[in-house]
Amino acid sequence: MNRFDYVRPASVAEAVAAGSEPGSAFLGAGTNLLDLMKVGVARPGRVIDVTRLPGLDRIEWLPDGGVRIGAMVRNSDLAYDERFSRSFPAVAEALLSGASAQLRNAATVGGNLMQHTRCAYFHDLASACNRRVPGSGCDALEGENRLHAVLGWSEHCIATHPSDFCVPLVALDAVVEVEGPHGAREIAIDRLHALPGATPEQETALAPGELIVALRLPADAAAFSRNARYLKLRERTSYAFAVVSAAAMLEVEGGTILRARVALGGVAAKPWRAPEAEAALEGAAPTAQAFAKAAGLALAEAQPSGDNAFKIELARRIVARALTLASEGTPAAMPALPASPFSTKIGANHVA
């Protein structure tokens, strides 16, 4: 780890001023940043500790029924907040499916939004990685890439975004509040993370010195609370990133789907919204045929980036299964293993 200056600002304005200096990095719980610093992938000259900034650790319910979540709210605190988990159950399920309980007790909302890819070549200083060193190449293209992107990738980068939390947030039109050198602004979360194109080093829409201060969910997102699920297929039962994941949310009345939301994780460099699938479901009956059609539309543009063609069919099946489980209703209690595609009900179909 390189030597660095440590700064603990007393206000958001002080944090933004300090973060505007080149080579600076904001530090929350550090569950991602510190790992990257230890292996030399991240080498900030100045670390700005934002953990004690006033007002960033609150969950605030807005007059219209929406919710504003401070960037320093812990993942566990948010997931176990009774009103929040009741209003946005798929988000709570996604949070509880990520990492270990110890990490969830430390990790923050803002840090989760800013996670870097878990691509092994990004983490290996001996490998070529355009995201880490622009113009150096992408060793993943010809390397071990069975878990890499099948949507939105380019010849410059085929990495995937690791967050579970962000997948249902994208489906629910969440908004990120940021403060920066030029004042406050809002970013729709679907535009926060960038696809690689020719500039994979530009991972987000944040400008230098901008700090995430809060996340907002609109009031109408709670309309999906009765039929919402997040499913995550992983190579280990727990403590693993998604091979593929899906958030599915339905508003059903009289046997007809009035509105639908579908998003995928583990398939691209950003959480992937599937508007074509959503449009196909609206006005349809919640049937296996309708869900299979929507799943096909969600992956219609998918292409293997290497030895990962299996992920396309896997993602289709996870989308269809998430829609099926959402149509059956949100569980009254969180499943013992949140986000698992495998039912704990005796005699249930375990084939996704």
Q: Tally Cβ neighbours within 10 Å of residue 204.
A: 16
CA dist list (Å): 48 to 15, 37, 201: 7, 14, 21
Domain assignment present for 231 = yes
CA dist list (Å): 138 to 131, 162, 167, 257, 266: 8, 18, 26, 43, 19
Domain assignment present for 303 = yes
Rounded distance between C-alpha atoms, residue 123 and residue 121, angstroms:
5
- Strand-pair category, 46-49 with 183-188: unpaired
H runs (alpha helix) in 58-136: 75-79, 82-87, 89-96, 101-106, 109-113, 120-123
Give the CA angle between residues 11, 73, 269 to the nearest 5°.
100
Domain assignment present for 11 = yes
Domain assignment present for 45 = yes
**Helices and strands per DSSP (H, E), number in the chain:** 13, 12
Q: Note the pLDDT of residue 99.
A: 87
Q: Tell me if 177 sits within 8 A of 215, measured CB to CB.
A: yes
Q: Note the pLDDT of residue 224.
A: 98
Domain assignment present for 171 = no
Domain assignment present for 136 = no
Number of domains in the chain: 2
CATH number, position 9: 3.30.43.10
Backbone phi and psi for residue 122, each to the nearest 5 degrees, phi listed first:
-65, -35
Backbone phi and psi for residue 101, each to the nearest 5 degrees, phi listed first:
-60, -40
Q: Tally Cβ neighbours within 10 Å of residue 78.
A: 25
Q: Note the pLDDT of residue 1.
A: 87
Q: Note the pLDDT of residue 337.
A: 87
The parent domain of residue 41 ranges over: 1-53
Q: Note the pLDDT of residue 343.
A: 66
Q: Note the pLDDT of residue 204.
A: 98
Name the strands in the sheet holding 228-234, side by side, starting at the edge strand that comes first in the sequence.
Answer: 228-234, 242-253, 256-265, 272-273
Q: Tell me if 273 sits within 8 A of 262, measured CB to CB.
A: yes
Name the strands in the sheet holding 211-217, side by side, starting at the edge strand that comes first in the sequence.
Answer: 59-61, 67-70, 211-217, 175-180, 183-188
Displacement of CA 121 from its chain's centroid (Å): 21
Closest CA to 323 of 265, 272, 276, 277: 277
Supply the pTM of this predicted model.
0.96
Domain assignment present for 243 = yes
Rounded distance between C-alpha atoms, residue 352 and residue 350, angstroms:
6
Q: Note the pLDDT of residue 238.
A: 77
Rounded distance between C-alpha atoms, residue 216 and residue 247, angstroms:
18
Low-confidence residues in the chain, pLDDT < 70:
343-352
Rounded distance between C-alpha atoms, residue 171 and residue 177, angstroms:
18
Q: Tell me if 310 sits within 8 A of 147, measured CB to CB.
A: no
Q: Note the pLDDT of residue 236.
A: 86
Domain assignment present for 309 = yes
Q: Note the pLDDT of residue 94.
A: 97
Helix (H, G, I), strand (E, B) or coil at 27: strand
Rounded distance between C-alpha atoms, residue 150 and residue 154, angstroms:
10
CATH number, position 260: 3.30.390.50
Q: Note the pLDDT of residue 215.
A: 98
Backbone phi and psi for residue 177, each to the nearest 5 degrees, phi listed first:
-100, 130
Q: Note the pLDDT of residue 176.
A: 98
Backbone phi and psi for residue 313, each to the nearest 5 degrees, phi listed first:
-65, -40
